[in-house]
């Protein structure tokens, strides 16, 4: 596992994604974690401007970006200072010596050069003057000093690719394409890449740097690609449109970390996807509702603060019984909080966060590739039940990448839209609210359809005729109807599976969303030596799968690790009456496998585990 770190202007994210492209082509499994500051270009050399990209690669199933990197490439003292605490003893630390000047050290807040204080004694320190070597390598191309300096990320990438036994072809091809119209920049970067690679090979470093060739992973047969969460989500929405044979209009307002989805979808016009960048979050959700009203699949997206603004309009879509997909790329909060750091703290908002009794189905994606599946599911539910659907992802998923078995589109059932029942004697208003008995979804009647003109809105309507009604019994009936509609989603979704372990036992580790990888690995490792531990990861958070209560009742204890203060835990207590043990982390960083193992082992180790769930199951 390695981690690149430098100034946010150093090209660290680019270097990381290129390393991943090469890793993917080499056939190794990988998972990534871009970790960048909220400021686009924070002052150079400062600790708060440090951007990092972590890659976990190898042959086993890799589901997280890893706990402690074995290799850190630090472009400056600040990057070293911020990232050193993440390393284990013995890790390889590559530092760019050119930046270890008095000024560079001072900016990072070092009183003394850490290379001289003994604080790096426990690590394998490799000092390379990356800047000078890069400038030398690109000298023939006549770039300005600053342009030449910018090639240093490719120099370092070349060295890392050598270290991990990968070749340069993929990166070279990418550079050829990227700088097709800029000969000097292209050639300089290729030269820097080769120079870094050659540097690794030279005798003088061979002893210091172990070559950490990543072995080929054991994958199921099939065609693979690398994918980021935002890419898979965009493709999943396009796939849903294709399956429903409807265009899709994505209406959004820029916000971190949700914007990559907007960018991805803007390039999918040929798949029947339109993108509208609205004036604000409210306009984004409202225009999506307008699009749905007109027969196009309306989708809006944001992060927590933006979703909060959309709340009233989501209520309108509930009341008017219109389909809508609301995607929330969660981030640390409250308020502006930690815009670029990940958190799972909008589950309450999705499930409970509206005025009045206003239930909506809620789904969460667990990995970059899973975003594709969940996007299709969200649209399917929205169109079947004619309801807004929440899709929760997070900053980690949006940007993380993994190898992905390319889905077979032929394996997905078409998405049905509710047709209009032919009842000649019924008026258009009641026809528009003639709901399907199983899903309670009404027909999707849209402007342009002759003879079916009707009026909808946010005022309470008569349960049968769809006309405005202030009748008290009717409101009671409609409130029940809205609840029953969302509850009926459970009749259409699969039973909750178990990802690791048996269907009953001592401890069930229950999670949702992007913690999947860490929980899966932690439980898998424990299961090698311990019996009775299982991992269960929930995609359908509202309503829960029908079997979830019975499944969890088969365990002595239910542990819920979450990157929040216990929101799924609350939901499990509320909906299933379960007692659960919480494990919560809100540092803005994903779970580490080790910290999960430690916590779960402690629980397993407790003598005579008390049965939390009441009732005799002997």
Partner 1 sequence: MSAALTAKDFATEQEVRWCPGCGDYAILKAVTRALADVGAEPENTVFVSGIGCASRFPYYIETYGFHTIHGRAPAIATGVKLANPELDVWVVTGDGDGLSIGGNHLLHALRRNVGLKILLFNNEVYGLTKGQYSPTSRLGTKTPSSPGGSFDMPISPGLFALGAGARFIARAIDVDKPGLGAVLQAVHAYEGAALVEIYQNCIVYNDNVFGAFTSKPTAADTQISVKHGQPLTFGAAGSKGLQFDARTMQLTVIDAASSPDDVLVHDERNATLAQLLLSMEAPEFPVALGVIYQNPAESFEAAFYRNHATQLKRTGSVADALRHTNTWVVK
Query: Interface residues with partner 1 (CB under 8 A)?
Result: 21, 24-25, 27, 170, 219-226, 235, 238-239, 241-242, 247, 249, 251, 268-274, 276, 278-280, 282-283, 286-296, 298, 312-313, 315-316, 320, 406-407, 409, 446-459, 467-468
Q: Shortest Cβ distance from residue 457 to partner 1 (Å)?
A: 3
Q: Which is nearer to partner 1, 293 or 540 (CB)?
A: 293
Q: Which two tokens stand for residue 453?
A: 């003109």
Q: Which is nearer to partner 1, 226 or 513 (CB)?
A: 226
Alpha helices in 294-394 (DSSP H): 304-320, 347-352, 370-385
Cα angle 26, 30, 33 (rounded to 5 degrees) comes to 135
CA pair distance 513, 238, nearest whole angstrom: 21
Q: Shortest Cβ distance from residue 449 to partner 1 (Å)?
A: 6
Q: Shortest Cβ distance from residue 458 to partner 1 (Å)?
A: 6
Q: Which is nearer to partner 1, 139 or 216 (CB)?
A: 216
Q: Shortest Cβ distance from residue 210 to partner 1 (Å)?
A: 27
Q: Shortest Cβ distance from residue 464 to partner 1 (Å)?
A: 17
Q: Which is nearer to partner 1, 170 or 191 (CB)?
A: 170
Asked if 100 and 80 touch (Cβ cutoff 8 Å), the reply is no
Q: Shortest Cβ distance from residue 294 to partner 1 (Å)?
A: 4
Q: Which is nearer to partner 1, 207 or 356 (CB)?
A: 356
Asked if 551 and 539 touch (Cβ cutoff 8 Å), the reply is no
Query: Can you give the C-alpha Rg of the chain in angstroms?
Result: 27
Q: Which is nearer to partner 1, 420 or 449 (CB)?
A: 449
Q: Shortest Cβ distance from residue 430 to partner 1 (Å)?
A: 13
Q: Which two tokens stand for residue 525?
A: 């490792």
List C-alpha distances in Å: 514 to 231, 350, 397, 488, 548.
16, 16, 6, 26, 20
Q: Which is nearer to partner 1, 44 or 449 (CB)?
A: 449
Q: Which is nearer to partner 1, 185 or 239 (CB)?
A: 239
Asked if 442 and 434 touch (Cβ cutoff 8 Å), the reply is yes
Report the DSSP beta bridge partners of residue 51.
6
Asked if 155 and 128 touch (Cβ cutoff 8 Å), the reply is no
Asked if 161 and 19 touch (Cβ cutoff 8 Å), the reply is yes
Of 233, 265, 170, residue with least CA distance to 400: 233
Q: Shortest Cβ distance from residue 233 to partner 1 (Å)?
A: 13
Q: Shortest Cβ distance from residue 319 to partner 1 (Å)?
A: 9
Query: Which pairs from 204-207 meet CB under 8 Å and 24+ separation?
Result: 205/126
Q: Shortest Cβ distance from residue 266 to partner 1 (Å)?
A: 10
Q: Shortest Cβ distance from residue 143 to partner 1 (Å)?
A: 28
Q: Which is nearer to partner 1, 416 or 587 (CB)?
A: 416
CA pair distance 584, 515, nearest whole angstrom: 11
Count of Cβ atoms closer than 10 Å to residue 217 Cβ: 18
Q: Which is nearer to partner 1, 83 or 292 (CB)?
A: 292
- For residue 103, the 8-state DSSP code is H
- The number of residues making up the chain comes to 618
CA pair distance 184, 171, nearest whole angstrom: 17
Q: Which is nearer to partner 1, 22 or 345 (CB)?
A: 22
Asked if 313 and 532 touch (Cβ cutoff 8 Å), the reply is no
Which letter, b or e, does each residue of 310-322 get, where b requires 16 or more Cβ atoms within 10 Å of its Cβ?
bbebbbbbbbbbb
Report the DSSP beta bridge partners of residue 273.
248
- Tell how far CA 596 is from the center of its chain: 20
């Amino acid at each position: 596992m390695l981690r690149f770190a430098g100034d946010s202007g150093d090209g660290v994210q680019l270097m990381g994604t290129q390393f991943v492209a090469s890793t993917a082509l080499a056939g190794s499994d990988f998972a990534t974690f871009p970790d960048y500051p909220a400021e686009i270009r924070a002052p150079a050399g400062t600790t708060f401007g440090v951007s990092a990209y972590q890659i976990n690669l190898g042959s086993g199933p890799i589901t997280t970006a890893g706990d402690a990197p074995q290799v850190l490439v630090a472009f400056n003292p600040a990057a070293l200072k911020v990232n050193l605490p993440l390393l284990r003893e013995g890790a390889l630390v590559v530092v760019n010596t050119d930046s270890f000047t008095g000024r560079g050290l001072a900016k990072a807040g070092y009183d003394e050069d850490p290379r001289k204080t003994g604080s790096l004694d426990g690590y394998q320190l490799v000092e390379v003057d990356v800047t000078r070597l890069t400038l030398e390598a690109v000298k023939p191309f006549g770039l300005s000093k600053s342009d030449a300096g910018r090639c240093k990320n490719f120099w370092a990438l070349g060295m890392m690719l050598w270290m991990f036994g990968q070749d340069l072809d993929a990166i070279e091809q990418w550079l050829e394409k990227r700088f097709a119209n800029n000969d000097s920049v292209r050639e300089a970067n290729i030269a820097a890449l080769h120079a870094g690679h050659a540097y690794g090979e030279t005798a003088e470093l061979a002893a210091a740097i172990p070559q950490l060739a990543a072995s080929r992973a054991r994958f199921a047969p099939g065609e693979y690609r690398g994918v980021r969460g935002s890419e898979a989500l965009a493709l999943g929405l396009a796939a849903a449109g294709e399956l429903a044979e409807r265009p899709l209009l994505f209406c959004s307002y820029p916000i971190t970390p949700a914007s990559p989805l907007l960018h991805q979808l803007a390039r999918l016009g040929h798949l029947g996807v339109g993108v509208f960048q609205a004036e604000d979050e409210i306009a984004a959700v409202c225009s999506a509702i307008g699009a749905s009203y007109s027969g196009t699949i309306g989708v809006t997206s944001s992060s927590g603060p933006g979703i909060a603004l959309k709340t009233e309009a989501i209520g309108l879509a509930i009341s008017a019984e219109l389909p809508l997909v609301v995607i929330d790329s969660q981030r640390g909060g409250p308020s502006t909080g930690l815009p670029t750091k990940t958190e799972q703290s909008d589950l309450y908002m999705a499930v409970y966060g509206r005025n009045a009794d206003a239930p909506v189905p809620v789904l969460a994606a667990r990995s970059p590739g899973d975003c594709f599946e969940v996007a299709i599911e969200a649209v399917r539910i929205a169109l079947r039940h004619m309801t807004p659907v929440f899709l929760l992802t997070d900053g980690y998923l949006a940007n993380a990448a993994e190898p992905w078995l390319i889905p077979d589109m032929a394996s997905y059932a078409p998405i049905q839209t509710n047709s209009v029942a032919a009842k000649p004697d019924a008026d258009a208003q009641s026809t528009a609210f003639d709901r399907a008995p199983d899903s309670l979804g009404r027909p999707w009647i849209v402007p342009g359809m002759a003879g079916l003109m009707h009026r909808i809105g946010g005022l309470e309507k008569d349960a049968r005729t769809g006309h405005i009604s202030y009748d008290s019994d009717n409101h009671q009936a409609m409130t029940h109807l809205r609840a029953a509609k969302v509850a009926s989603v459970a009749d259409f979704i699969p039973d909750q599976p178990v990802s690791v372990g048996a269907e009953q036992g001592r401890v069930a580790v229950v999670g949702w969303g992007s913690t999947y990888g860490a929980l899966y690995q932690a439980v898998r490792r424990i299961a090698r030596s311990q019996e009775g531990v299982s991992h269960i990861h929930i995609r359908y958070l509202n309503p829960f799968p029908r079997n979830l209560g019975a499944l969890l009742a088969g365990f002595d204890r239910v542990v819920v690790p979450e990157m929040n203060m216990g929101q799924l835990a609350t939901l499990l207590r509320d909906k299933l009456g379960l007692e659960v043990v919480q494990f919560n982390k809100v540092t803005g960083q994903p779970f580490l496998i080790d910290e999960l193992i430690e916590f779960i082992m402690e629980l397993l180790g407790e003598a005579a585990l008390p049965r939390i769930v009441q009732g005799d199951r002997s």
